C-alpha cells in the first residue's frame, strides 16, 4: 500500500487559477522526492469566471482546470489524516509509515502548508524539479482543444498581464499591468530583438492576454514575411495554458498564471527580473525593456 499527500485549496472567490494551482503543482513534485503518491483534492471557490463566457458558474470553471491538469485522486482511502502540516513531523511520519498495509491519505491544510511547500521547493529546487519529472507532468496534461502550433515554425508565447475586475492587488507596480501608451514600446523592443535573434527562421509570436483587442492590434503591424504575430485575447485559459507550456519559448508576465505555465517547462523561459516567486535556474531574467541577449 502507499501514502498519498493532498492539499486542500480554496480560492474564496478572489484567487485565480495561477495563485491556487502553483501549490498542488509544487506538492506533486515534492511527492516524487518523498517517494509518496500525490492526490489532488480539487479547487473550491475559484475566481475569475464571473467576467468570461467560458464558464457558467464557479464549479464548471474549476472543473475545466481540474480536467486539464489530470492529477490523480485517491477516492476511497483506508485512513485519512488531517492533523499534520508540511514540516518535519510530516517527514517523520512518512519515514515511519512507508511499509503500512493501508492506503493512507494525508490532507494538508491550505493555511498551514502552502507557504511552507513553496519555501521548501525554493530551498531544494535542484532536487525537487528534475527535468524528467517536469516532462512527466507536462505529458500528463489532458487537452482536448485545438492545437495550433506548426512544427516547422518557432512558436514564441508572450503573456501580457492586463487588469481584470477581480485583481486583489491591481495597483501594485510590480504587476506591470499592460498600458498601451506606456508598454507597447517595451514590447516593440522585445520583438525587434527577436527578429534579429531569429532572422533566418520562420517565427510566430503568440500574444496571450485579456481585455480589448483594440489594445493589442498594433502588434499586428509588426508582422513580416518571416515573422507572424497572432493575438489570443480572452481565449479560454486552458487553451492559453496549454500553448504557453508547449511553446518553444515563453515570455512570462508577472502573474501566477504565467508562473504555473513556467513550472511545467524545463527551459527556454524568460521572466522579468522583478518577479516575486522563485523560478528554475534555467529561466532567463530580463530587464524592464526586455533587452534579451542576442
Domain locations along the chain: 3-139, 154-286
Q: What is the pLDDT of residue 15?
A: 84
Q: What is the pLDDT of residue 121?
A: 97
In angstroms, what CA-CA distances link 237 with 77, 95, 248, 258? 32, 39, 19, 11
Query: What is 154-286's CATH topology?
Result: Rossmann fold (3.40.50)
Dist. CA 96–CA 92, nearest whole Å = 6
Cβ-contact 240, 215 below 8 angstroms? no
What residue ranges of the chain have pLDDT lower than 50? none
Q: What is the pLDDT of residues 148-172, one digit of tens each?
A: 999 999 999 999 998 765 555 555 5
Q: What is the pLDDT of residue 165?
A: 53
Dist. CA 95–CA 168, nearest whole Å = 40
Amino acid at each position: 500500500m502507499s501514502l498519498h499527500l493532498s492539499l486542500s485549496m480554496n480560492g474564496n472567490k478572489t484567487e485565480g487559477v495561477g495563485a491556487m494551482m502553483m501549490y498542488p503543482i509544487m506538492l506533486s513534485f515534492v511527492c516524487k522526492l518523498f517517494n509518496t503518491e500525490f492526490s489532488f483534492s480539487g479547487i473550491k471557490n475559484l475566481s475569475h469566471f464571473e467576467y468570461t463566457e467560458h464558464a457558467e458558474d464557479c464549479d464548471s470553471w474549476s472543473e475545466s482546470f481540474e480536467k486539464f491538469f489530470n492529477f490523480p485522486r485517491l477516492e476511497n482511502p483506508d485512513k485519512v489524516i488531517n492533523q499534520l502540516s508540511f514540516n518535519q513531523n510530516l517527514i517523520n511520519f512518512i519515514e515511519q509509515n512507508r511499509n503500512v498495509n493501508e492506503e493512507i491519505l494525508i490532507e494538508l491544510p491550505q493555511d498551514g502548508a502552502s507557504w511552507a511547500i513553496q519555501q521548501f521547493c525554493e530551498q531544494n529546487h535542484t532536487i525537487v524539479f528534475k527535468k524528467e519529472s517536469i516532462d512527466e507532468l507536462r505529458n500528463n496534461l489532458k487537452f482536448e482543444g485545438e492545437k495550433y502550433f506548426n512544427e516547422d515554425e518557432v512558436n514564441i508565447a508572450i503573456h501580457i498581464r492586463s487588469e481584470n475586475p477581480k485583481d486583489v492587488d491591481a495597483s501594485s507596480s510590480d504587476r506591470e499591468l499592460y498600458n498601451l501608451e506606456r508598454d507597447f514600446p517595451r514590447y516593440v523592443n522585445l520583438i525587434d530583438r527577436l527578429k534579429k535573434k531569429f532572422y533566418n527562421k520562420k517565427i510566430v509570436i503568440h500574444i496571450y492576454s485579456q481585455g480589448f483587442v483594440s489594445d493589442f492590434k498594433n502588434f499586428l503591424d509588426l508582422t513580416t514575411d518571416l515573422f507572424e504575430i497572432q493575438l489570443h485575447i480572452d481565449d479560454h485559459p486552458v487553451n492559453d495554458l496549454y500553448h504557453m507550456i508547449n511553446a518553444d519559448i515563453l515570455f512570462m508576465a508577472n502573474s501566477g498564471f504565467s508562473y504555473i505555465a513556467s513550472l511545467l517547462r524545463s527551459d527556454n523561459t524568460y521572466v522579468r527580473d522583478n518577479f516575486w516567486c522563485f523560478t528554475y535556474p534555467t529561466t532567463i531574467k530580463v530587464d524592464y525593456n526586455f533587452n534579451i541577449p542576442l
